[in-house]
């Protein structure tokens, strides 16, 4: 369609030029001026409509500006998207291309209405009956605004109240089935699991009313259980929090509304946190305007930490495009490639959904997805012990092969600042360049151990060079007391715990919010520039024993030799479900040499410019191997012991030119009867082609 329109437009321009050459200035004088066809519009939150301009000129460019971006946003093409209920004006300007001076051609008035729930769409409001809609102040994570109620006040409670609440570290308003108020008999339990997932300070405020004719004593407390976790070598399991151990009692006179505020210190690692509001048996009372304010600990301004975690929003064009697609109901995929923290290690003993990757995806889906957010999709490609040199091998298998909607992720998070060491910089840059060439928005995620180690200061240079968004939880941490941060956000081994993962997810959401509020930039083409470290690993592909090489032109042949065992069950498993399989081995399809395999070499003929070999580093008993390329010895695979069955990576080849090569791996002399496992091979064939 676009090509067709361009051809028609080109033809129209030719005709116009021909006519103008005959008629002269008279035609120009008769030309109609550009004007707005769309002068007003009404849409719902997350809904979109486009401003139409009449008599547009191909010689002109048209720009749009919203008077209230918090109410209605407008793209560079004139598509208006409702952000929240309210009114705004979109001013449209016209200017000659490359000219700075512009003129206003009109204004479009926009009314944004609240998004209707399913019950609102079906219900018919009774005359004169409506409940005020509850709104929550801006928070560092999404805040629910309960829908308006069209039903009269409830006088009985048939079932326990179900709170509508999401993570927020400012103030969140609790909703009760579409209303801010609830009539309670004796007691009510308000589930706040998402708000107090890992403990901290919880402040609650609410209004109470009762009509019994006499003063009644009410009380507010909390209950919950601890996560299963190990602390100083001791395994703590299923320890309950006393339901009303820190409850507060107060008097509520009959016929009066009493406003009360409460504060609780919730133990770390608590979950299934519930707020309990109780009165005497058989006494009914009304609870209204319940708000919950949470923060992890007293020694830090959590909101300030989150605000300081965005190192850069970079060139925002691709992220903003993904946000617009999500709002419009188009499929959007967010992928996370990294190590143990991205995989979710120590996020929770009970649910890997607490991992920062999945939690930040859920927040994106909630904030920007259409309807229930089912058009936003998620890939976790984290794997413990993964540096960039292994990440670039896994990228095709664990990210691209997992795509169910489109070929490439709309947004790719890269997390290797902690795991990388030695000469990983070129592979790190190659992942960036690979994703950028494929059209993805790339975000550098600088996760952090509590010892502060990492490569953020080095890798931020890649972010600056390629103008990428960068999320730095460590930068936010600098505004908190270190001891308090350690106490609340890390396990004893230094990995982030549930609280640390929630903090990192909020840092990512803050970056998305900052990008969403910015003007759209013009997408750059930084991959056309010279690389900082190199590009020999760009476009690397994954080769495993299950790979069908008959479909791959670059791989001419594979002879497994003595590496004929294609499974190795003695290796780590993923902490998340992948391809519908729980506890899937990291490398399900290997080439393994056993004590009885003999001495025949593994050989592969590949047309490429680079080769990486990932092999198993076991605790003990494994042998060593030698690596040859084109018959020339290039090094030993000698890190096969002293590990925990994790992967080591050896660079067998790195050249600029794509040529035919033969990779050979054989056991070292004296180790022919020892086991050795090749996990996977990565090869790139995107370099210059040989003559």
* Block mean pLDDT (10 aa), the chain, length 691: 31 30 34 83 84 83 87 86 86 82 88 61 30 30 35 37 42 76 88 60 87 92 62 46 60 93 71 80 92 69 80 96 96 96 76 82 91 94 94 97 96 93 91 97 87 82 97 80 58 73 88 94 89 95 96 96 95 88 93 93 97 95 96 96 94 96 97 96 83 52
**pLDDT at site 19:** 30
Question: Residue 656 corresponds to which tokens in the numbers above?
Answer: 């600029």
Residue 667 tokens, joined: 């056991």
**HSE-up (13 A, CA, CB side) for residue 23:** 13
Q: Compute the distance between CA of residue 331 and CA of residue 321 in angstroms, rounded to an integer.
A: 12
Assess contact for 415 and 339: CB atoms under 8 A. yes
pLDDT at res. 213: 94
**pLDDT, position 486:** 57
Position 33 scores a pLDDT of: 85
Residue owning tokens 């995929």: 333
Q: What are phi and psi of 579, to 5 degrees?
A: 55, 35
Phi, psi of 481 (to 5 degrees): -70, 130
For residue 43, how many other CB atoms are within 10 A of its CB?
Answer: 17
Could you give the CA distance from residue 171 to residue 291 in angstroms, rounded to a whole number? 6
Tokens of 312: 């850069």
pLDDT tens sequence across 429-472: 999 999 999 999 999 999 876 666 688 999 999 999 999 999 99
CA distance 429 to 311: 18
Looking at residue 156, its pLDDT comes to 39
Residues 6+ apart with CB under 8 A from 628: 634, 662, 663, 664, 665, 666
The answer to whether 108 and 92 are in contact (CB under 8 A) is yes
* pLDDT tens digits, one per residue of 537-551: 999 999 999 999 999
| 387 φ/ψ angles, rounded to the nearest 5 degrees | -90, 180
**Which segments of 466-518 does DSSP mark as H helices, in order?**
473-477, 482-489, 498-517
């Amino acid at each position: 369609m676009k090509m067709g329109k361009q051809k028609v437009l080109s033809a129209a321009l030719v005709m116009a030029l021909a006519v103008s050459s005959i008629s002269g200035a008279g035609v120009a004088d008769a030309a109609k001026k550009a004007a707005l066809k769309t002068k007003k519009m009404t849409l719902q939150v997350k809904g979109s409509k486009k401003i139409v301009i009449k008599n547009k000129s191909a010689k002109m460019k048209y720009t749009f500006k919203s008077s209230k971006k918090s109410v209605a946003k407008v793209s560079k093409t004139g598509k208006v998207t409702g952000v929240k209920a309210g009114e705004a004006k979109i001013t449209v300007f016209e200017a000659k291309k490359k000219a700075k001076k512009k003129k206003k051609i009109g204004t479009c008035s926009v009314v944004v209405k609240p998004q209707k729930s399913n019950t609102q769409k079906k219900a018919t409001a009774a005359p004169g009956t409506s409940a005020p809609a509850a709104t929550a102040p801006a928070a560092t994570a999404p805040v629910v605004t309960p829908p308006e109620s069209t039903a009269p006040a409830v006088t009985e409670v048939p079932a326990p109240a179900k709170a509508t609440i999401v993570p927020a570290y400012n103030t969140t308003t609790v909703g009760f089935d579409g209303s801010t108020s609830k009539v309670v008999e004796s007691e009510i339990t308000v589930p706040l699991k998402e708000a107090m997932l890992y403990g901290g300070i919880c402040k609650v405020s609410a209004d109470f009313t009762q009509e019994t004719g006499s003063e009644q004593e009410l009380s507010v407390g909390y209950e919950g259980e601890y996560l299963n976790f190990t602390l100083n070598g001791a395994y703590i399991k299923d320890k309950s929090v006393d339901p009303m151990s820190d409850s507060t009692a107060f008097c509520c006179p009959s016929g009066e509304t009493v406003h009360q505020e409460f504060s609780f210190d919730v133990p770390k690692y608590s979950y299934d946190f519930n707020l309990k509001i109780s009165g005497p048996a058989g006494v009914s009372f009304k609870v209204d305007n319940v708000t919950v304010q949470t923060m992890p600990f007293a020694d830090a301004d959590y909101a300030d930490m989150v605000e300081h975690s965005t190192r850069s929003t970079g060139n925002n064009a691709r992220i903003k495009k993904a946000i617009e697609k999500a709002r419009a109901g188009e499929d959007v995929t967010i992928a996370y490639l990294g190590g143990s923290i991205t995989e979710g290690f120590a996020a929770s003993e009970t649910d890997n959904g607490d991992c920062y990757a999945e939690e930040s995806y859920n927040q994106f889906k909630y904030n920007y997805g259409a309807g229930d957010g089912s058009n936003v999709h998620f890939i976790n490609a984290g794997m413990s012990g993964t540096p960039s040199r292994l990440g670039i091998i896994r990228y095709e298998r664990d990210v691209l092969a997992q795509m169910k909607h489109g070929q490439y992720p709309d947004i790719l998070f890269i997390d290797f600042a902690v795991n990388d060491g030695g000469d990983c910089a070129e592979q790190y840059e190659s992942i960036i360049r690979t994703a950028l060439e494929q059209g993805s928005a790339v975000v550098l995620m600088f996760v952090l151990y509590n010892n502060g180690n990492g490569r953020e200061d080095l890798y931020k240079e890649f972010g600056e060079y390629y103008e990428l968004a960068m999320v730095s939880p460590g930068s936010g941490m600098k505004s908190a007391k270190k001891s308090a941060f350690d106490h609340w956000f890390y396990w004893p081994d230094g990995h982030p715990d549930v609280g640390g993962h929630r903090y990192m997810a909020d840092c990512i959401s803050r970056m998305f919010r900052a990008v969403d509020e910015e003007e759209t930039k013009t997408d750059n083409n930084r991959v056309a520039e010279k690389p900082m470290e190199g590009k020999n690993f760009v476009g690397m592909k994954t080769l495993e024993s299950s790979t069908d090489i008959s479909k791959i032109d670059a791989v001419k042949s594979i002879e497994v030799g003595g590496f004929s065992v294609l499974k190795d069950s003695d290796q780590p498993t993923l902490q998340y479900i992948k391809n519908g399989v729980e506890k899937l081995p990291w490398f399900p399809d290997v080439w393994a040499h056993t004590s009885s395999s003999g001495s025949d070499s593994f050989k592969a003929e590949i047309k490429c410019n680079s080769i990486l070999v990932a092999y198993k580093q076991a605790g003990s008993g494994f042998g060593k191997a030698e690596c040859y390329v084109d018959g020339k010895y290039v090094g030993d695979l000698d890190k096969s012991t002293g590990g925990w069955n994790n992967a080591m990576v050896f660079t067998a080849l790195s050249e600029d030119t794509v040529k035919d090569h033969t990779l050979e791996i054989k056991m070292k002399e004296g180790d022919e009867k020892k086991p050795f496992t090749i996990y996977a091979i990565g090869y790139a064939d995107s370099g210059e082609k040989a003559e």
